[in-house]
Homo-oligomer: A and B are copies of this chain.
Amino acid sequence: MTALPLALYTHAVIEHATRFSNQRIAPVDIAALRENNPEHWMKATAIRALTLDAVAAANSGHSGMPMGMADVATVLFEKHLKFDVSNPQWPDRDRFILSAGHGSMLIYSLLYLMGDKQVTLDQVKNFRQMGALTAGHPENFLIDAVETTTGPLGQGIANSVGFAMAEEIQRAQYGRKLVDHNTYVIAGDGCLMEGISQEAIGLAGRHSLGNLIVFWDNNNITIDGTVELSDRTNQVQRFKASGWHVQEIDGHDPEAIDAAIVAAKKTKKPSMIACKTHIAIGHAAQDTSKGHGALTDADQLAAAKAAYGWPGAAFEVPADIKAQWEAIGTRGAAEREAWEARFAEASKQKQDRFNRAYALDAPNKLSATIKALKKQISEQQPKVATRKSSEMALAAINPIMPETVGGSADLTGSNNTKTSDLGVFDTDNRKGRYIYWGIREHGMASAMNGMALHGGIRPYGGTFFCFTDYARPAMRLAALSKIPTVFVMTHDSIGVGEDGPTHQPVEHLAICRATPNTYVFRPADTVETAESWELALSSKETPSVLALTRQNLPTVRTEHKLANLTSKGAYVLAEAEGKRQVILIATGSEVSTALDAKALLEAEGIGTRVVSMPCMELFAEQDEAYRRKVLPAGAAVRVGIEAAVRQGWDQWLLGERAKPGKSDFVGMDRFGASAPAGELFEKFGITAANVADKVKALL
C-alpha cells in the first residue's frame, strides 16, 4: 500500500501522542483511498451508501458515524469477527457491541449486507419507522444479532466488561473448547466522556480482560462542535493508566486496522484501538458536527456517492459487492459447526447445564430448595435483617445454580451478597463467581446487564438502595432490554439510621415501581425474601429489585406454606379476628408494624386484616377476583404503611373500589435525618400506635 493521504496516522503505534496532536484534522483524499484498496473500499462504502439512503428516507438518524467507522467495521467483520449470519446467537460467537448506538445504521447495514434473516432490505428502507426492527437505536429485543441495546452513551462499553467477564467465567467452567471468543466494541467520544466509561475501563484493566477489544472512533466531533469544546483528555494515556494495551491507527486504512486487531487479540490486556477517522467522510459535512446528525440533502448525498465512486441508486448494492458481503456473513459457519461437534462430544451433564443456563431456566431443584428453607424459617422464626435473609437464601441457592455470579459495589459485608462457595473472580481465578466491583454502582449494573446478555450467567449485585440513583441508567436499560438482572438493594429506608438522609431512600421504591417491566420486591421477612429470590431467579425477561432492610425484623410468616405467596404480589397475612373493619397494607419492615397495629386495634375490638404486599407489580398482574379477595370493595378502612413516599400507593388506597374518604397512608413525605433508626421511625410516626390512631380517626 502506498502512502495514505492521512500520512500523519500510520498503523505504527504512536506512543505518548497527546489528544491535541490527534486532533489536528488532516485532509482526506477519497480518490486515493479508493485506489489504494478498491475491493475494501467498495465493501465499506456499501455501508456508507446504505446509511446515507436510510437516514435520508427517514429524514432522521445519524449518518456520520457509520460512514466514518465503515472501514473498521468492514475489516473486523471480514477478517476477525467470529460470526455466522445464519445463526447469530450461536453461543461461542464473538460479540460485537455498538456502544455509540446512534450509529445504528452501521449495524443494520452490516446485517442486511451479510444476509441476516431479520434485517431485510425492507427493514433498511423502513429505518426508524413504526413497527420496523430497525429502530432509531439498536435494540437487542428486536433483532437477534444485536447483542445489547445502546444509545444512552457509555452503556455499551460498560456492558462489554460484563460480556468479557462472562466469557472468562464460562471458559473456566466449560473449557476453551466450548467457550473461546472475543468482545469487540465501537465507542465514540460521547461514550468516553460519560463517567461510566471510567468505571468500565478500571474494571477491565483490573481484571486483565484480554478478550475485550474497544475501537475508539476518534473523530474529534460531538454534537456541540469539536471535542475540544469540552474535553482535552489524552485518551491514550487515560486507558494506559488503567492497564490497557493501546494502539493508535488511521481508521480508514484497512491494513492498519487489520494489524491492530491482530495485535489486540494477542495481548493479555484489554485493548483500545484509537481509530483516527473522519466523521461523514466524503460528504460536504465531513469533519463537522453537522456530519454527526441526519444528512438528508439530496444533492450533497449524490455528490458524496459520486466521490465514493458508488454506482448504485438509492438502496441498491451492486451484486458483486453484495455477494462479497454474504460470503463474509457465512465465514463463521464452519467454526460454528466445529463448535457444535465439540459440544456434542461434551458430557450430557455439561450440555444440560450449559443449555439450561443459556435458556435462563431455573434448575428443578430451586423450588424444593426454597420450600425447604421456608419451612425451616417458619419453624425457627429468626429475627434478622432481610439483607441477612437474602444471604441465607443465597447460601441455599448458589450451590445449586452454578450460573449465578454475585457481587457488590464495595459493600460486601453490608449487602450480604457473598456466600462462602462462590470464590472470588480474579486474574488467577476465573472460576470465581463473586466480583468485587469497587465503588462503581453504575458500572456494576451495566456490566451485570452485559453478563446476562452474554448468556449462561445470572448476575446479581448489591449496593445501598439509595444508590439506585447511580445505577439508574443501567437499571432502566435492564427493564427496557428485557434482561433479568437482580439488583440487591439493602438499607432500604430510614432504617439506615445514623448515616442520615444522603443514605436513606425515600423515593426509590416509587422510582423503581414507575419503571415499566421491573419487579420491585420488598419482603417482610426471611420467608418472603426466599420467595422473592425464587421469583427473581425464575424471571426470563424482567429485572428484579430486592429492597432489603439494614435492621432486624421478626419472622411474620410463622405458618409454613408450600405456595410462593409473594408470587401473587400481595396476600392476606393475618385475618381480622372479629368483623373486618380495617385493612392494613404494608411492605417490608412495615409489615411487622402493621401486625403490631392490628394487635392494638383488635384489643379494642376493631377487626383488622393485614395484607403483606411484597410486589405491587405482581399484584397488579392478578385477576380482579384475586385482587378483590385481598382488598374487598367497600366498607373497611384502608391504611397503607411503607417508610417511603406515598406515590404509587393510591391505586390501592383510593382505587380498587376503596371507600371514599376512608383511607390513609403512613410513610415519609420528606427526606430523612441522621439518628438511630428506632428514633427515626418514632419521629416520622411510622409506628403501630400512629397507625392505630389514623385508623381510629377514620372509623
A657 in complex: contacting residue of B190, B660, B679, CB < 8 Å: B660
**Which stretch from A5-13, A217-225, A554-562, A575-583 is at the chain B interface?**
A217-225
A440 touches B128 (CB 8 A): no
Beyond A232-B205, A237-B237, A660-B660, whether A439 also contacts B190 by CB under 8 A is: yes
Residues from chain B with a CB closer than 8 A to the CB of A101 are: 502
A510: Cβ under 8 A from any B Cβ: yes
With A137-B503, A511-B514, A516-B670 known, 6 other A-B pairs at CB within 8 A are A60-B497, A130-B675, A152-B466, A154-B195, A234-B241, A650-B651
Beyond A152-B467, A436-B224, A514-B645, whether A136 also contacts B503 by CB under 8 A is: yes
A195 in complex: contacting residue of B196, B507, B511, CB < 8 Å: B196
Report how far A194 CA is from B440 CA in the complex, Å: 5
A507 touches B503 (CB 8 A): no
Residues from chain B with a CB closer than 8 A to the CB of A500 are: 128, 135-137, 139, 151
A516 in complex: contacting residue of B470, B479, B645, CB < 8 Å: B645
B223 touches A499 (CB 8 A): no
List 11 A-B pairs, Cβ < 8 Å.
A136-B499, A137-B502, A139-B502, A152-B466, A193-B410, A223-B411, A230-B439, A241-B241, A469-B473, A514-B514, A651-B654
Report how far A583 CA is from B595 CA in the complex, Å: 40
Residues from chain B with a CB closer than 8 A to the CB of A655 are: 650, 654
A647: Cβ under 8 A from any B Cβ: yes
Report how far A686 CA is from B64 CA in the complex, Å: 34
A151 in complex: contacting residue of B437, B503, B645, B651, CB < 8 Å: B503
Contact with B along A659-677 (1 / 0, CB 8 A): 0110000000111011110
A588: Cβ under 8 A from any B Cβ: no
A135 in complex: contacting residue of B442, B507, B673, CB < 8 Å: B673
Write the chain B residue with the least CB distance to A501: B480
Could you say how many copies of this chain the assembly holds? Answer: 2
From A132, A224, A670, name the one whose CB has the most chain B CB atoms within 10 angstroms: A224
Q: Count contacts on A: residues with CB < 8 A to the other chain.
A: 113
Chain A, 207-243, CB within 8 A of any chain B CB: 222-225, 227-238, 240-243
A135 touches B674 (CB 8 A): yes
Report how far A154 CA is from B469 CA in the complex, Å: 13
Q: Say how far A673's CB is from chain B's closest CB, in angstroms.
A: 7
Chain A, 420-478, CB within 8 A of any chain B CB: 436-440, 442-443, 466-467, 469-470, 472-473, 476-477
A241 in complex: contacting residue of B233, B469, B501, B680, CB < 8 Å: B233
Chain A, 79-106, CB within 8 A of any chain B CB: 101
From A198, A243, A412, A674, name the one whose CB has the most chain B CB atoms within 10 angstroms: A674
Residues from chain B with a CB closer than 8 A to the CB of A238 are: 237-238, 241-242
A195 touches B198 (CB 8 A): yes
A206 touches B193 (CB 8 A): no
Residues from chain B with a CB closer than 8 A to the CB of A680 are: 130
A392: Cβ under 8 A from any B Cβ: no
A193 in complex: contacting residue of B128, B199, B240, CB < 8 Å: B199
